[in-house]
Amino acid sequence: MAIAFTFPGQGSQTVGMGKELADAYPEARRVFEEVDEALGEKLSALIFEGPEETLTLTANAQPALMAVSLAAMRALESKGFSLKEKVAYVAGHSLGEYSALAAAGFVSIADAARLLRIRGNAMQAAVPAGEGAMAAIIGLEQADVEAACTEAAQDEVCQIANDNGGGQLVISGSKAAVERGAALCTAKGAKRALMLQVSAPFHSALMGPAADAMREALAGVARHAPVVPVVSNVSVEPTIDTDLITARLVEQVTGRVRWRETVEWFGANGVTTLYEIGAGKVLSGLARRINRDIAVSSVGTPADIEAALAALG
């Protein structure tokens, strides 16, 4: 009867997220102040007021989503909640892994904000605009998508970037190769193959320069063993080993986000309830499609905080 906390990734951001938490809980408000101080700018104003097109920029969305997740965590903790005592595992989708690790004490909130700003900028800068692409493939078996990527690559990069579950895979790489891969997936029977409006080919080998940047950045911050194990995106294995977590965060930049397998791992290892901590309900929706036996709840507003506290005891 174990509980896991999950933390959302890019795409869950909305203008105004976290504002109710900041208004209701001084501890949540302090998180936004810490992030502003760490970045030397009022990211909180962008989070609360927009504009949306600026919030959506990778370098802003990544620390912003972490801030909202940690604001929700601090709100829970202000009411006596203890992650170490109540939760068996944490995990996060892509950037959400940093949120999970900050929640579990691996890095400070300030360092998480700075790392995610570096990560966002480095991922954006790794590939010239227009040279990379991503596509969502709906309703095709993973083996068929893998085969399509291999055939489409033609000395370029085309690989699975996200296995989100519910029949949704995302491919990433060189623009022409991804377009070929999407067409091949359609020919193989995919229900849909949709080119995504993204700014870079995330979680592909083209992100190598960003992985190098994160290796250097992580080496420069204080890291501590998390109070609960994190289940890594790239390995789907739990660990509290600081060096191993660091290595996996570097690998994650170019590696696949194995979210379907993560939720399946939770189900196979006694997790009966998942809480999605932060903005939106994307991970909750994915979890329902992957394993209907796991109860899911989203925690992103004061009402959600009170409901979670009542359920968690």
Contacts of 247 (CB under 8 A, 6+ apart): none
b/e per residue, 217-234, with b = 16+ CB within 10 A? bbeeeebeebbbbbbbbb
**How far is the C-alpha of 163 from the C-alpha of 32, rounded, in Å?**
31
Contacts of 35 (CB under 8 A, 6+ apart): 43, 44, 63, 66, 67, 109, 110, 113
**How far is the C-alpha of 146 from the C-alpha of 277, rounded, in Å?**
32
Residue (of 133, 129, 95, 304) closest to 214 by Cα position: 95
**How far is the C-alpha of 149 from the C-alpha of 193, rounded, in Å?**
13
b/e per residue, 38-71, with b = 16+ CB within 10 A? bbeeebbebbbeeeeeebbebbbbbbbbbbbbbb
| Dihedral Cα 274, 275, 279, 281, nearest 10 deg | 40
* 156 close to 210: Cβ distance less than 8 angstroms: no
**How far is the C-alpha of 187 from the C-alpha of 153, rounded, in Å?**
16
Contacts of 242 (CB under 8 A, 6+ apart): 106, 223, 224, 225
| DSSP assignment letter at 33 | H
Annotated catalytic residues are 94, 203
